[in-house]
Amino acid sequence: MQDYFCIFISYHGNTMAPKKKTPEKKSSVKKQSAAVSKLEDIGSLNRKELSERSRKFSKRFCVGDGDNFQLKKYRTDPDIDLGPEDKPVMKRTLEVGVETLAELQDKMYAQDKWSLLLIFQAMDAAGKDGAIKHVMSGVNPQGCQVTAFKVPSAEEMDHDYLWRCQKNMPERGRIGIFNRSYYEDVLVVRVHEPILKAQKLPEKFVTPDIWKNRFKDIRNYEKYLYRNGTKILKFFLNVSGKEQKKRFIERIDNPEKNWKFSTADAKERTFWEDYMKTYEEMIRFTSTKESPWYVVPADNKSYARIVIVSAIVNAMDELNLAYPKVSKEKLAELRAIRQALIDEK
Ligand code: AMP
Ligand code: MG
């Protein structure tokens, strides 16, 4: 068994690893040495220990206040060597995360106060769909709603860009998942000028300030949602150009994956540098302590999913979720009904 069990479950390394002071090329970033632990450790951790581990682990990928954010300080690959032999451990680690998430979701649903909005943004083939599928696999579908935002319809184009998102906000007690979101309106719309033109805005608002103004609007909107009980986590699945190329070729070579590939994906790839700059600025202006961005290393799908689940567990832990307390009167009533049921003939 390798000595790499620093993932989620038992990380003891430098928690601030991605925030290096001197800019370094990703390829030259030294891989960290990992702490040794045992797989059995997972089962023996109590709930409090699990919370602490997920807090420490997810913190490394959390941007928090985005003021000085630089994308180049964040890796696209895990900072530990993971091979095929590590798959069972990764699987078990994700399972533990998902079980914990399911337990927290049950409480959130019962408490009916908070809602959680998870936003996923990424370049094509970064693994958004797979992450959503695997991370939410153990969650009660009743407490969860997924919305995928595509190119806006004619009806959506007749409204402001937040309109279609507002309509799909999670109800209290539920988890809402946005597969893309209003952030497309400061990403694809910014990278491709003709798309902005097609938004039919009054000309006086289409100025070079439009992006800063949209960032401000988004910050305010998220602040508003937070104050009304919606906790927002935003995930940027940070895949490398090299890994995207590999996944595109796989999609073309494998008939079962052909449906996932579109010529538009290949075209978007040619705008890679523009997208990276745009993502960087977007994260810098819209990551806040309350509604943070997470930059998830996405070149390894299993690792990315563990990062995501640990961030969700940590955020939910901080909401102090609890089953509603039943009043003394209600308790007495329940006891009386119980007795009546027992006495029934
Ligand atoms: P996918 O998620 O891969 O199925 O693709 C959805 C496509 O819709 C992506 O190419 C997005 O960039 C695009 N899209 C989503 N929102 C917008 C928007 N507001 N304006 C233009 N294109 C969008
Ligand atoms: Mg696509």
Q: What is the 3-state secondary structure (H, E, C) of the chain?
A: CCCCCCCCCCCCCCCCCCCCCCCCCHHHCCCCCCCCCCCHHHHHCCHHHHHHHHHHHHHCCECCCCCCCCHHHCCCCCCCCCCHHHHHHHHHHHHHHHHHHHHHHHHHHHHCCCEEEEEEEECCCCCHHHHHHHHCCCCCHHHEEEEECCCCCHHHHCCCCCHHHHCCCCCCCCEEEEECCHHHHHCHHHHCHHHHHCCCCCHHHCCCCHHHHHHHHHHHHHHHHHHCCEEEEEEEEECCHHHHHHHHHHHHHCHHHHHHCCHHHHHHHCCHHHHHHHHHHHHHHHCCCCCCEEEEECCCHHHHHHHHHHHHHHHHHCCCCCCCCCCHHHHHHHHHHHHHHHHCC
What pLDDT is stored for residue 82 in this prediction?
86
Nearest ligand 1 atom, CA 150: 8
Instruction: Find out whether the beta carbon of 151 lies less than 6 Å from any atom of ligand 1.
Output: yes
Q: Whose CA is nearest to atom 14 of ligand 1?
A: 151
Instruction: Find out whether the beta carbon of 190 lies less than 6 Å from any atom of ligand 1.
Output: no
Ligand nearest to the CA of 188: 1
Cα 83 to middle of ligand 2, angstroms:
27
Nearest ligand 1 atom, CA 185: 19
What pLDDT is stored for residue 81 in this prediction?
84
Ligand nearest to the CA of 244: 2
Cα 262 to middle of ligand 2, angstroms:
7
What pLDDT is stored for residue 41 in this prediction?
57
- Ligand 1 pocket mutation pick from 160, 180, 282 by most atoms within 8 angstroms of CB: 180
Instruction: Find out whether the beta carbon of 189 lies less than 6 Å from any atom of ligand 1.
Output: yes
What pLDDT is stored for residue 26 in this prediction?
44
Q: Own/partner pairs for 206-211, CB < 8 Å, 24+ apart?
A: 211/186, 211/281
- Ligand 1 pocket mutation pick from 179, 184, 268 by most atoms within 8 angstroms of CB: 184
Ligand nearest to the CA of 129: 1
Q: Whose CA is nearest to atom 17 of ligand 1?
A: 151
What pLDDT is stored for residue 345 in this prediction?
86
What pLDDT is stored for residue 36 in this prediction?
39
Q: Whose CA is nearest to atom 22 of ligand 1?
A: 151
Cα 168 to middle of ligand 2, angstroms:
21
Nearest ligand 1 atom, CA 156: 19
Ligand nearest to the CA of 156: 1
- Ligand 1 pocket mutation pick from 164, 188, 265 by most atoms within 8 angstroms of CB: 188
Q: What is the pLDDT along the chain (345 residues), one digit of tens a residue?
A: 333 344 554 444 433 344 443 344 444 344 444 433 333 456 678 889 999 999 999 999 999 999 999 999 999 999 888 888 888 888 889 999 999 999 999 999 999 999 999 999 999 999 999 999 999 998 999 999 999 999 999 999 999 999 999 999 999 999 999 999 999 999 999 999 999 999 999 999 999 999 999 999 999 999 999 999 999 999 999 999 999 999 999 999 999 999 999 999 999 999 999 999 999 999 999 999 999 999 999 999 999 999 999 999 999 999 999 999 999 999 999 999 999 999 998
What pLDDT is stored for residue 249 in this prediction?
97
Cα 117 to middle of ligand 1, angstroms:
19
Instruction: Find out whether the beta carbon of 185 lies less than 6 Å from any atom of ligand 1.
Output: yes
Closest CA to 174 of 226, 230, 131: 230
Instruction: Find out whether the beta carbon of 184 lies less than 6 Å from any atom of ligand 1.
Output: yes
Ligand nearest to the CA of 251: 2
Q: Whose CA is nearest to atom 6 of ligand 1?
A: 150
- Ligand 1 pocket mutation pick from 123, 132, 149 by most atoms within 8 angstroms of CB: 149
Phi, psi at 7, each rounded to 5°:
-75, 130
